[in-house]
């Protein structure tokens, strides 16, 4: 896995390496040991199929998230919300100590989005006061961010340009997910804080020319 820390990588330029790693892991789980008797080998292959098949199909593809992502991507969007087990086991992260897990990623070869289960839940329930504001805000921000990786535009592989678009379109994204304009404004400080964290910790997300949206003080008169 990449040595560099990642927040929510688009898997570029490491996308192909990650993809190769994924295929290698799958092949390994399917290959019986050398010298094994045929029946035993077949049993192992069957076991691999049984173990692999249900996990491959466990993630959700929420229609709401795909619809909102498609609005920003200007094309249909495949948005995957894995189970926690799938997320932790995603071979794209590797298994070494200190492997950092992102908030989400866009697989740039097969063009699909995968989001952290907690952030999927936040984006799905943007108006639910039972979930913390940070979870709803970051879920929305990550969804919009990954959608801009899917969109076919000149800067789709630039984390800085993509993240700038994500924070600038954050309140629009929150409203498409069901928030009122007032709630979108209430969520904005958490999105700005997440954005600030990203650009502070990871230089590749930093766009000095990015014009950030302003929170409106909801105080009257």
Closest approach of Zn ion to the CB of residue 82, in Å: 18
Among positions 73-112, residues that touch Zn ion (CB under 5 A) are none
In angstroms, give the least distance from the CB of 18 to Zn ion.
13
The stretch among 3-11, 24-32, 118-126, 179-187 that binds Zn ion (CB under 5 A) is 3-11
Q: How far is the CB of 171 from Zn ion (least distance, A)?
A: 20
- Please identify, using beta-carbon distances, which residue of 142 and 187 lies nearer to Zn ion: 142
Residues 146-205 interacting with Zn ion (rule: CB under 5 A): 159
Q: In this complex, which beta carbon is closest to Zn ion, that of residue 143 or of residue 183?
A: 143
- Select from 9-17, 75-83, 86-94, 107-115 the region that touches Zn ion (CB under 5 A): 9-17
Taking CB under 5 A as the criterion, the residue among 2, 3, 6, 10 binding Zn ion is 10
Question: Between 15 and 117, whose beta carbon lies closer to Zn ion?
Answer: 15
> Two tokens at 163?
């993240």
Distance CA 132, CA 112 (A): 27
- Closer by beta carbon to Zn ion, 6 or else 171: 6
Select 10 or 176, whichever has its Cβ closest to Zn ion.
10
For the CB of residue 7, give the shortest distance to Zn ion in the complex, in Å: 8
Q: CB of 10: closest distance to Zn ion in angstroms?
A: 4
Backbone angles phi, psi at 61, to 5 degrees: -125, 80
Secondary structure in 3-state letters for the chain? CCCCCCCCCCCCCCHHHHHHHHHHHHHHHHCCCCCCCHHHHHHHHHHHHHHHHHHHCCCECCHHHHHHHHHHHCCCCCEEECCHHHHHHCHHHCCCCCCCCCCEEEECCCCEEEECHHHHHHHHCCCCCCCCHHHHHHHHHHHHHHHHHHCCCCCCCCHHHHHHHHHHCHHHHHHHCCCCHHHHHHHHHHHHHHHHHHHHHCHHHCCCCCCCCCCCCCCCC
Count of CB atoms within 10 A of residue 191's CB? Answer: 29
In angstroms, what is the minimal distance from the CB of 153 to Zn ion? 14
Number of residues engaging Zn ion in binding (CB under 5 A): 2
Measured CA to CA, the distance from residue 118 to residue 15 in angstroms comes to 24
Kindly tell me which of 10 and 191 has the beta carbon lying closer to Zn ion. 10
At its nearest, how many Å lie between Zn ion and the CB of residue 133?
22
* Residue nearest Zn ion, Cβ-based: 10
Name the site residues for Zn ion (rule: CB under 5 A).
10, 159
């Amino acid at each position: 896995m990449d040595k560099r820390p990642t927040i929510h990588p688009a898997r570029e330029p490491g996308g192909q390496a990650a993809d190769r790693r994924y295929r290698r892991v799958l092949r390994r789980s399917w290959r019986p040991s050398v010298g094994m008797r045929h029946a035993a080998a077949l049993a192992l292959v069957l076991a691999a199929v049984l173990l692999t098949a249900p996990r491959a199909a466990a993630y959700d593809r929420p229609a709401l998230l795909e619809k909102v992502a498609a609005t920003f991507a200007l094309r249909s969007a495949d948005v995957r919300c894995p189970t926690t087990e799938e997320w932790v086991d995603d071979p794209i992260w590797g298994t070494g100590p200190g492997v950092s897990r992102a908030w989400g990623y866009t697989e740039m070869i097969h063009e699909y989005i995968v989001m952290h289960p907690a952030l999927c839940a936040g984006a799905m329930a943007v108006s639910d006061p039972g979930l913390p504001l940070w979870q709803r805000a970051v879920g929305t921000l990550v969804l919009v961010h990954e959608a801009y990786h899917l969109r076919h535009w000149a800067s789709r592989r630039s984390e800085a340009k993509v993240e700038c678009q994500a924070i600038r379109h954050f309140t629009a994204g929150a409203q498409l997910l069901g928030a009122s304009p007032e709630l979108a404004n209430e969520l904005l400080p958490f999105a700005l804080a997440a954005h600030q964290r990203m650009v502070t910790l990871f230089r590749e997300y930093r766009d000095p020319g990015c014009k950030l949206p302003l929170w409106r003080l909801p105080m009257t008169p």
